[in-house]
Amino acid sequence: MKKANRIVSFDWSMYDQGHVVYRPAQMSADELRIGLGGAYGKFYSTSSIASRFPLFGKRHRAQWLIYNLFMRKASQTVNFNSIAAPTVEPDVAPMPPILPVKREWREAVLEAARRPGPQLS
């Protein structure tokens, strides 16, 4: 997408399910935004949830139902009305804020291994 110049926003705070941050290839950003809202609405509608309810198999039905009802509520509160404002491309490749750098993970693991653990008696 970067080579095709389709990325609109480089602001990581806009990378959620409520903002369109790129130019879709076969539709407008508005069509994508409206379609996403419609897809969530249809998928988490009462009739859709009922038709997908696991009557047979090993799936835990109560857990499945709670998850689907939670996602239904969340999909009703997500704001699909946003198209991210264009931002300037940064000079360096940005790192997503939720993913630590590999060496930070290594340092954290080594530090935890050096600490004395709980003593079992």
pLDDT (tens, 9 = 90+) of the chain, 121 residues, equals 888 889 888 888 888 777 888 999 999 988 988 888 888 889 988 898 888 888 887 778 888 888 888 888 887 776 666 788 888 888 776 666 665 566 677 777 677 777 765 554 4
For tokens 């009462």, name the residue. 46
Backbone angles phi, psi at 82, to 5 degrees: -115, 130
CB 34 within 8 Å of CB 40? no
